[in-house]
Chains A and B, each alone.
Chain A
Amino acid sequence: MSAKMTNSQGVETITAEGSSDPRPVLMLAEFETADLLMEAATGVRDQGFRLWDCHTPYPVHGLDQAMGIRPTLLPWLVFGGGATGFTGGLLMQAWMNAVDYPFLISGKPFWSIPASIPVAFELTILLSAFGAFGGMLLLNGLPRFYRPHFRSDRFRRATADRFFISIDGRDRQFDVQANSELLTGLGATAVEVIEE
């Protein structure tokens, strides 16, 4: 069980038990609606924070711009997978049926593209799909089962009906006092600090 105390600004601080010198690792600010979050996000971005994030129960349209997220390179991973699948598929068939042990089958040529299309195609899709899924996990650093966020009870609703902004303790501009004021200013209904 982790300890809990509230300071003057009503900023709750949650401290993990057993941590010798508790340092703040995360600040969470809760917002009622997506629109509020959107404005707040713009604000936080403009303050020039680096290690921060928004948490929403569904992908909020336009939030990426508000946060200024750069486009992901996932498509390239997918393309890589696809390309491997296609060439690999063709080569595999050519080698197995036409090179390694050629069989005379129905008087057909040992190697012909049309007969090889279906398998090559399926392998293309398969490996692209692996690329997409695996890439998503990779780029998002998933799976990662522990996060400081999970110490906050409020944060449960991040996956249901509430919107959060989190600022990482390692951010250069991280400062409990200043940041909490900023966030309350931007309309946060509650601000929490997670310590470890």
Chain B
Amino acid sequence: MSRDPIFRPWMDQLLKLVGAGAAVTGIYVVLMIYFGFSPKTISAGYMPEQPVPYSHALHVGELGLDCRYCHTTVESAGFAAIPPTQTCMNCHEKIEPTSVNLEPVRSSFRTGLPVRWIKVHDLPDYVYFNHSAHVTRGVSCVECHGRVDHMEEVHQVKPLSMGWCLECHRDPAPHLRPVDKVTDLGWGMERTEQEKIDQGSEIMKGLGLYDESGHPTTRMTLMTNCSTCHR
């Protein structure tokens, strides 16, 4: 006696294909989540539109203003203060006094209402980053903010993710430079990795993060302790 088999030969092939397809999709989805949600994708490149099209490229890059001219508190305080309107007007009362772009600034100066800047480098609230603690140790602005002196509009370059912070907190040496060069964003670009490390190691010793023989000290381990950034 005969019967109909439930499945035909070709179905086996089909099922194999379906299986393979499912596997591929699975991998694809995983990769998407893996990279799609990475801070490198979500955060890096964030460039909100500011009320005033202030160009760092012009002021810092070309006119050569020092970062600290505006961000005065960066060496003394946790926040690198956004300059008060006064600071802008110091020059712009004379320079470009009629520019349309500068209207928000002038009106702020008239009314006393602040300019509403949009925060670009925006860390989560449970992270306590202190500018002075980094700048006075020889971590340059460029390490986190990139070549702001080349930016027409400021945007986020680094992911500012925890993993990214740890990179440096685990091995600061290559990221350090003499304190007086901190705001010189272009400084030492030509150095080789090895030079960076050597130079950094010296600074590390100065900071007591390395002992004389160049081995990390306890203060170094402290830098990866939770309470260093989270309270």
Direct contact of A and B (CB under 8 A): yes
Binding site for B on A (CB under 8 A): 1-4, 12, 14, 101, 143-147, 150-154, 156
When the two chains form their complex, are residues A145 and B11 in contact, meaning their CB atoms are under 8 A apart? yes
When the two chains form their complex, are residues B15 and A145 in contact, meaning their CB atoms are under 8 A apart? yes
Majority-rule SS of B interface residues: loop
B9 at interface (Cβ–Cβ under 8 A)? Answer: yes
- Cβ-neighbour of A156 out of B3, B9, B166 (below 8 A): B3
When the two chains form their complex, are residues B3 and A146 in contact, meaning their CB atoms are under 8 A apart? no
Please indicate the chain B residues that have their CB under 8 angstroms from the CB of A101 in the complex: 166, 224
B180 at interface (Cβ–Cβ under 8 A)? Answer: no
B69 at interface (Cβ–Cβ under 8 A)? Answer: no
When the two chains form their complex, are residues B6 and A150 in contact, meaning their CB atoms are under 8 A apart? yes
When the two chains form their complex, are residues A4 and B11 in contact, meaning their CB atoms are under 8 A apart? no
Listed by A's residue number, 21 A-B pairs whose Cβ atoms lie within 8 Å are: A2-B4, A14-B1, A101-B166, A101-B224, A144-B12, A145-B6, A145-B7, A145-B11, A145-B12, A145-B15, A146-B5, A146-B7, A146-B9, A146-B11, A146-B12, A150-B3, A150-B6, A151-B2, A151-B5, A152-B1, A153-B3
Interface residues of B in 1-56 (CB under 8 A from A): 1-9, 11-12, 15
Task: Given contact pairs A145-B6, A146-B5, enumerate 19 new A-B contacts (beta carbons under 8 Å).
Answer: A1-B4, A4-B1, A4-B2, A14-B1, A101-B166, A101-B224, A143-B15, A144-B12, A145-B11, A145-B15, A146-B8, A146-B11, A146-B12, A147-B5, A150-B5, A152-B2, A152-B3, A153-B1, A156-B3
Please indicate the chain A residues that have their CB under 8 angstroms from the CB of B7 in the complex: 145-146, 150
When the two chains form their complex, are residues A2 and B6 in contact, meaning their CB atoms are under 8 A apart? no
- State A147–B3 Cα separation when bound (angstroms): 12
Given contacts A145-B12, A145-B15, A146-B12, whether A153 and B6 have CB atoms under 8 Å apart is no
Binding site for A on B (CB under 8 A): 1-9, 11-12, 15, 166, 224
Chain B residue nearest in CB terms to A3: B2
When the two chains form their complex, are residues A154 and B1 in contact, meaning their CB atoms are under 8 A apart? yes
When the two chains form their complex, are residues A12 and B15 in contact, meaning their CB atoms are under 8 A apart? no
- State A69–B9 Cα separation when bound (angstroms): 27
Please indicate the chain B residues that have their CB under 8 angstroms from the CB of A147 in the complex: 5
- Shortest distance from the beta carbon of B153 to any chain A beta carbon, whole Å: 36
- Shortest distance from the beta carbon of B81 to any chain A beta carbon, whole Å: 34
- Shortest distance from the beta carbon of A14 to any chain B beta carbon, whole Å: 4
Please indicate the chain A residues that have their CB under 8 angstroms from the CB of B15 in the complex: 143, 145
When the two chains form their complex, are residues B3 and A151 in contact, meaning their CB atoms are under 8 A apart? yes
- State A150–B6 Cα separation when bound (angstroms): 8
Please indicate the chain B residues that have their CB under 8 angstroms from the CB of A4 in the complex: 1-2
Chain A residue nearest in CB terms to B166: A101
Please indicate the chain A residues that have their CB under 8 angstroms from the CB of B5 in the complex: 146-147, 150-151
Please indicate the chain A residues that have their CB under 8 angstroms from the CB of B224 in the complex: 101
- Shortest distance from the beta carbon of A41 to any chain B beta carbon, whole Å: 24
- Shortest distance from the beta carbon of A95 to any chain B beta carbon, whole Å: 15
When the two chains form their complex, are residues A153 and B2 in contact, meaning their CB atoms are under 8 A apart? yes
- State A154–B2 Cα separation when bound (angstroms): 8
Chain A residue nearest in CB terms to B7: A145
- Shortest distance from the beta carbon of A24 to any chain B beta carbon, whole Å: 14
- State A3–B1 Cα separation when bound (angstroms): 10
Chain B residue nearest in CB terms to A145: B7
Please indicate the chain A residues that have their CB under 8 angstroms from the CB of B11 in the complex: 145-146
- State A171–B9 Cα separation when bound (angstroms): 20
Chain B residue nearest in CB terms to A12: B1
- State A151–B15 Cα separation when bound (angstroms): 20
